[in-house]
Chain A
Amino acid sequence: MTANSSILTFLFACSFVLFGVLPDMRECQLRAKQMENGSNVQQVYKSVGGPTNPKVPVYWNRYHDGQQITQILQDLSEKFPDLLKLQSIGKSFEGRDLWVATITDFKVGDASRKPGFWIDAGIHANEIQADEVALYTAWFLAEMHAENDFVQQLLRDRVFYILPSLSPDSREAHFYRANSTNSPRSGQRPVDDDRDGMVNEDPAKDLNGDGHITQMRIRDPNGRFKQHPKYPNMMVPVEEGEKGEFTLLGNEGIDADGDGRFSDDGDGYYDPNRDWPWNWQPEYVQRGAFRYPLSLIENRLAADFIKSRSNIAGAQTYHNTGGMLLRGPGSKQDAYQAKDLRVYDEIGRVGEKILPGYAYLNVANDLYEVWGGEVDWLHQMQGIFTFTNELFTQYNYFHKKDGTSDQTHEFDKLMLFGDGLVPWVEVDHPTYGKVEVGGFKKNWGRQPPGFMLQEECHRNMAFTLYHADQMPLVAIRDVQTKRLKDNLTEVIVAVENQRITPTHSTVDLQQKITRPDHVSLTGTGFKVVMGQYSDDSLFRRANIQDRKPEVIKVPVIPGRGIVYVRWLVEGEVKGQVVVDSIKGGQAIKLLP
């Protein structure tokens, strides 16, 4: 016996003791092999709600940079060629690929004709967990397909388009350059923010060289701030009449371009989520607006992709922070149609259940006014029901709705053991002399700590899959034929939409964005002499279509609604009824 095999024997024995069962030999050998490799990746006891042994192992308590995201997507497309196809829809400003994963059961049906769901994330690159949620969704759908009926049904009927990083240049900047949790929100296209003829010449400055842009304070016997008695990293304002110790100087930075202003021209600046056509306004009305709508290449590529796929009926654009399930409109002058709002309300309320601490809200009235936001374009110009999840909420700290102002520091102390903050440290400042820098690290504040990340990914995905499942889905409930006279037959079809979302949003109908749903009688040897549709099974209110009555154009099949189509046909009625809805899918039924 060699030393190795005696260790193995020992481990075998241990496992017997641990599990208290007699494992079959194959399992034992497998486990032994894992242990030999020093690997604990294989799951031996299935935890519910996730793939047992993923083909592409990923740690979902970590953040991934652009290269890793690309690798994971490529691995998935390689391991699941029938479920996930990866394409680059173009390059970012700095030349990075914008990846879109198309996920569906490619073996069933025509992928381009299934109702589609669009997911993008990280349009604000500093909101880094957004990309992780989108990536997790792609991974989960592919990995879970083999062992879950719901996922199978979803991918049989639906197609997902997932773009996990809409601002990849700035994600790279956030990961590898000094930044704060709030930066960079902009992309990396250089802009002369202070319009002085020099570009990005006065960015934030990492004075203590720790990779984090934190805060600056200067000792000042008459300052208006002091340290928090319990959490010395936290600065609190002094009471009226009380003497402070410090004056706060804002973000770590210097006046690099000598114009008297600190860090006034860094990355960008523009806001990619103020770059969308609906209700777009220029920079003086809407800070962050760039030149004109879709003047940013990343957005334009995404918009072109979405426009070219009119089957997209639902969308999610992930952001952080604040725990919100947002819908448009962004401007108070704008309004969504009442019928469309009922769809949002119903889905949003389920979302509040799936995501404790999250609130279903409207951008303009509950948050702030946004002109030219992506959500508005998706709904008001493309007719797509869209949510923006603002990921992460302070509710997560202690599961309390109304936390105190010092709860972040308390959480840092009790659960992060101080890992979230940079303690104040003295540095030399070219303008102010001796100052201190310190405060929140860039990876803390808007992002969940690792141990919460997977839960955030999963819960938000669960909401989005619920939303996707509620996209319209057409079915033929019933076909009846009745001979009225020798040579005249009546055909009545009941077409059903089984989900909450209508086949056309109200704005889609009003602006004629997507063509009507077609209900056709196909076959030969007969002539359709009359065709009509109605929302009433007795046709008491009906619309007659004179032109090409064999293909009835139904404007909309409402959510969980039924539309009836009636034909009067001369000749022998043989053939089938075909329902073809751009956003609701297709259905076929043979005539009885």
Chain B
Amino acid sequence: MHYCSTTSATWANRILANLLDWLQPYRRLVVVALTLLLTLAGYTHLVSPLCGQDVPDPLRGYSKFAEIEARLKQLESDRAKLTSLGKTLGERDIWLLTMGSQPDAQRPAILVLGNVVGQHVMGRELAMRMAEQMIKLKETDNGIQQLLESHTIYFIPSPTPDATEKNFQFPVTGQNGNLSPTDDDKDFETGEDPPSDLNHDGWITMMRVKHQFGTHRSHPEDQRVLIPVDKSKQEVGEYMLYTESLDKDSDGEFGEDSSAGVDFNRNFTFNYEYFGKGAGPHQVSERETRAVADFMFDHPNIVFVLCFSPEDNLFQTWKGSTQTDQQRIKSKVLTADQVHLDRLADEFRKLHGGKGLPSEQAGQGSFSEFSYFHFGRWTFASRGWWIPPPEAKEENKSGGGEKRGAEELSALAWFDSQSINGFVPWQQISHPDFPGELVEVGGFKPLMQLNPPIALLEPLVLPHIEFLKKLREQFPVLEIRDVKAVKHESGLMDVRCRIVNVSPLPSMPEIGSVTRQWYPAQVSLVGAENVKMIEGSPRISVGRLEENGGEKELRWIFFSEQTTESPFKIRITAPTLQTVEFEIQRSQPEKENHDG
């Protein structure tokens, strides 16, 4: 962080100095122009154009944190409440926007998280635009209106704001870590060997060094792309490949410790990587992860979780098996849940329309897997956008069917088709650590493969909103059916009913009942709190009910020493359910009482 800001400042200063040299002959003119500019725009606006732009190319049109904050504040209303879940080390708030007709009530809810990975800035922008669009459409769009009327949507558009902001700074590296100091190479020094922008282009790319027995070689179809050598084919490499950097701590490693911080998406409890790079000192060690995890545990009314992350489970759905179902420590999606997650993912894919998603596995300690495996909720992770794969791949003859580097080639082709300057051509530099050797800097610019040009983002907003509207139809709904209440002459009451789940989803995911993080439905016989119960209890807990008619029969037998005329009521409550009541008349004993 500190490194980035200082380097970009010196870089800016250098340009400023060059500019001043060049402008020397026109000094008077320059003074006038500068005065004018300063008056018009103020110093801050003067500096940014000198950098060429105020945000890196791939993020042009994306809001920085301050703008996100301003946009959130504009959304505040009686149906959209803005609260802070805490502050990061960088003093940025982790904002929560609660949307619904009763934002303070714990009603059945959907939680939407923006980017859980710093570099995936589009996740934040998309979550923001979803919130803005839903506020705009809340009066006119029936589905949104209904959703906000009876449910709550929690938006945490920027769960890891410090990490995200790093990606707006020069030189652009592509960063996921927050501002916690880390010793990335575990040498007991912190941040002593960060990457360096050796060619002063504002990007941290790669550095290749010509080497007789290198680890990489050029792709046969495109010299720009490097592929690792295949030792089984007796291939010999041409290059050693490093991050664009100096070996500042002279340990033979290049740019390996920038004190990169802790990665939000590697800091959660499921499958946590102890001592892993970016994983933090332990699970949920960071202000950001703690704020989000605590918010979730404090809100058992959350039914669905949608987050944005490079790893996706909507196009590449999670797979479990009846064998993995038996594990004591669950590590694969439970098959009972997979059926429903697959069905909903299928709906999503129809709405989204994308194809050929590049494969990306959730890393250890990821948010989405925590949300499913430990928080026990229906969880969806959307990548949102990716570079579309080339049309109908004909087997390339020239490259001899080279599979290595295919993604890079398709990225380069796509950049060309869109006139995007996404690759820094290899350029020779002199490098103090490799005197007399051929060293070139170049490669893919960071961020470009994760974040689309802003124009391509807008069309993704509605499909994601449509998906939330689809989810509205999936919330568990329990009904009280076939109520029979008999009062015997002796005063003995016999009440029975069936509790039926009429939703297309089970009343809770199987993982919710396994983890016990999902609150069971409470069925109360209101008015019977102080009667003498023979069978049943005034309140009965009802666990998981299957979808489309899963049911449980309940029965109460008790003495009713009638002192009041107020009726008994059967009432179902749970944080994930709308409250339902059914009234039983006491005044009509010995008559069976049915609902409609």
Tell me the bound Cα distance from A285 to B520 in angstroms: 19
Tell me the bound Cα distance from A224 to B573 in angstroms: 40
Tell me the bound Cα distance from A294 to B517 in angstroms: 18
Give A339-389 interface residues, CB cut-off 8 Å to B. Answer: 381
Which of A122-130, A192-200, A441-449, A466-474 lies at the interface with chain B?
Answer: A192-200
Give B175-195 interface residues, CB cut-off 8 Å to A. Answer: 186-188
Residue of B282, B284, B329, B537 with highest tally of chain A CB at under 10 A: B282
A91 CB–B CB distance under 8 Å: no
B282 touches A282 (CB 8 A): no
Q: Scoring A residues 186 to 223 as 1 if CB is less than 8 Å from chain B, else 0, what string do you get?
A: 00000010111100000000000000000000000000
Which of A24-32, A68-76, A256-264, A572-580 lies at the interface with chain B?
Answer: A256-264
- Report chain B residues within 8 Å CB of A195: 300, 516, 518-520
Q: A277-B283, A280-B283, A381-B282 are in contact. Are A197 and B575 (CB under 8 A)?
A: yes
- Report chain A residues within 8 Å CB of B574: 197
- Interface residue from A257, A283, A285, A291 paired with B539 (Cβ < 8 Å): A257
Give B519-543 interface residues, CB cut-off 8 Å to A. Answer: 519-520, 522, 529, 536-541
Tell me the bound Cα distance from A294 to B267 in angstroms: 13
Q: Scoring B residues 242 to 275 as 1 if CB is less than 8 Å from chain A, else 0, what string do you get?
A: 0000000011000000000000000011001011
How near does chain A come to B180, taking the closest CB pair, in angstroms?
13
- Report chain B residues within 8 Å CB of A281: 329
Q: A282-B269, A291-B293 are in contact. Are A259 and B541 (CB under 8 A)?
A: yes
B537 touches A282 (CB 8 A): no
A272 CB–B CB distance under 8 Å: no
A547 touches B250 (CB 8 A): yes
- Report chain B residues within 8 Å CB of A62: none
A197 touches B573 (CB 8 A): yes
A277 touches B539 (CB 8 A): no
Can you list 30 A-B contacts (CB < 8 A)? Answer: A192-B519, A195-B518, A196-B520, A196-B522, A196-B539, A196-B541, A197-B519, A197-B522, A255-B537, A257-B539, A258-B537, A259-B537, A277-B274, A277-B281, A277-B283, A280-B272, A280-B283, A284-B516, A285-B328, A291-B294, A292-B269, A292-B284, A292-B374, A293-B269, A293-B284, A294-B284, A295-B294, A511-B274, A515-B188, A516-B188
Residues of A within 8 A of B (CB): 192, 194-197, 255, 257-261, 277-278, 280-285, 291-295, 307, 381, 511-512, 515-516, 547
B428 CB–A CB distance under 8 Å: no
Q: A291-B294, A292-B293 are in contact. Are A260 and B537 (CB under 8 A)?
A: yes
B5 CB–A CB distance under 8 Å: no
B274 touches A381 (CB 8 A): yes
B515 CB–A CB distance under 8 Å: yes
- Interface residue from A194, A282, A295, A515 paired with B515 (Cβ < 8 Å): A282
B283 touches A283 (CB 8 A): no
Majority-rule SS of B interface residues? loop
Tell me the bound Cα distance from A261 to B275 in angstroms: 43
- Report chain B residues within 8 Å CB of A278: 274
A511 touches B283 (CB 8 A): no
How near does chain A come to B496, taking the closest CB pair, in angstroms?
16
Tell me the bound Cα distance from A284 to B328 in angstroms: 9
B297 CB–A CB distance under 8 Å: yes
Q: A259-B541, A284-B515, A515-B188 are in contact. Are A293 and B282 (CB under 8 A)?
A: yes
Tell me the bound Cα distance from A195 to B576 in angstroms: 12
Q: A197-B522, A381-B274 are in contact. Are A293 and B283 (CB under 8 A)?
A: yes
How near does chain B come to A470, taking the closest CB pair, in angstroms?
26
- Report chain B residues within 8 Å CB of A260: 536-537, 539-540
- Interface residue from B269, B297, B539 paired with A280 (Cβ < 8 Å): B269
B16 CB–A CB distance under 8 Å: no
Residue on A nearest B522 in the bound complex, by CB: A196
20 other A-B residue contacts (CB within 8 Å) besides A196-B520, A294-B284, A547-B250:
A195-B519, A196-B519, A196-B522, A196-B539, A258-B529, A259-B522, A259-B539, A259-B541, A260-B536, A260-B540, A277-B274, A277-B281, A280-B283, A284-B514, A284-B515, A291-B284, A292-B283, A292-B290, A295-B293, A511-B274
Tell me the bound Cα distance from A294 to B282 in angstroms: 9
B538 touches A258 (CB 8 A): yes
- Report chain A residues within 8 Å CB of B282: 277, 293-294, 381
- Report chain A residues within 8 Å CB of B329: 281, 285
Residue on B nearest A258 in the bound complex, by CB: B538
- Report chain B residues within 8 Å CB of A255: 537
- Report chain A residues within 8 Å CB of B281: 277, 307
Give B535-556 interface residues, CB cut-off 8 Å to A. Answer: 536-541
How near does chain A come to B316, taking the closest CB pair, in angstroms?
25
The 9 nearest A-B residue pairs measured at CB: A260-B537, A277-B282, A258-B538, A515-B188, A292-B284, A195-B519, A512-B186, A259-B539, A293-B283
- Report chain B residues within 8 Å CB of A294: 282, 284-285
Tell me the bound Cα distance from A238 to B557 in angstroms: 34
- Report chain B residues within 8 Å CB of A277: 274, 281-283
How near does chain A come to B67, taking the closest CB pair, in angstroms?
32
How near does chain B come to A424, taking the closest CB pair, in angstroms?
26
A283 touches B515 (CB 8 A): yes
- Report chain A residues within 8 Å CB of B516: 195, 283-284
- Report chain A residues within 8 Å CB of B537: 255, 258-261
Tell me the bound Cα distance from A307 to B281 in angstroms: 10
Residue on B nearest A198 in the bound complex, by CB: B522
Tell me the bound Cα distance from A284 to B268 in angstroms: 17
Tell me the bound Cα distance from A278 to B536 in angstroms: 43
B284 touches A295 (CB 8 A): yes
- Report chain A residues within 8 Å CB of B520: 195-196
How near does chain A come to B305, taking the closest CB pair, in angstroms?
16
A291 touches B297 (CB 8 A): yes
B539 touches A258 (CB 8 A): yes
Tell me the bound Cα distance from A255 to B541 in angstroms: 14
Tell me the bound Cα distance from A22 to B518 in angstroms: 80
Q: A512-B186, A547-B250 are in contact. Are A282 and B540 (CB under 8 A)?
A: no
- Report chain A residues within 8 Å CB of B284: 291-295
Tell me the bound Cα distance from A388 to B541 in angstroms: 39
Residue on A nearest B520 in the bound complex, by CB: A195
Residue on A nearest B293 in the bound complex, by CB: A292
How near does chain A come to B252, taking the closest CB pair, in angstroms?
10
Residue on A nearest B250 in the bound complex, by CB: A547
- Report chain B residues within 8 Å CB of A258: 529, 537-539
Residue on A nearest B281 in the bound complex, by CB: A307
How near does chain A come to B181, taking the closest CB pair, in angstroms?
13
- Report chain B residues within 8 Å CB of A194: 541
Tell me the bound Cα distance from A259 to B537 in angstroms: 5
Tell me the bound Cα distance from A194 to B519 in angstroms: 8
How near does chain B come to A583, taking the closest CB pair, in angstroms?
14
How near does chain B come to A257, taking the closest CB pair, in angstroms?
7
- Report chain A residues within 8 Å CB of B297: 291
- Report chain B residues within 8 Å CB of A292: 268-269, 283-284, 290, 293, 374
- Interface residue from A282, A511, A516, A547 paired with B275 (Cβ < 8 Å): A511
- Report chain A residues within 8 Å CB of B275: 511
Tell me the bound Cα distance from A158 to B272 in angstroms: 35
Residue on B nearest A193 in the bound complex, by CB: B516
Give B286-300 interface residues, CB cut-off 8 Å to A. Answer: 290, 293-294, 297, 300
How near does chain B come to A281, taking the closest CB pair, in angstroms?
6
How near does chain B come to A380, taking the closest CB pair, in angstroms?
8
- Report chain A residues within 8 Å CB of B285: 294
How near does chain A come to B94, taking the closest CB pair, in angstroms?
16
- Interface residue from B188, B251, B514, B536 paired with A547 (Cβ < 8 Å): B251
Residue on A nearest B524 in the bound complex, by CB: A258
Residue on A nearest B528 in the bound complex, by CB: A258
Residue on A nearest B289 in the bound complex, by CB: A292
- Report chain A residues within 8 Å CB of B274: 277-278, 381, 511
How near does chain A come to B334, taking the closest CB pair, in angstroms?
12
- Report chain A residues within 8 Å CB of B187: 512
Residue of A257, A282, A512, A547 with highest tally of chain B CB at under 10 A: A282
- Report chain B residues within 8 Å CB of A280: 269, 272, 283
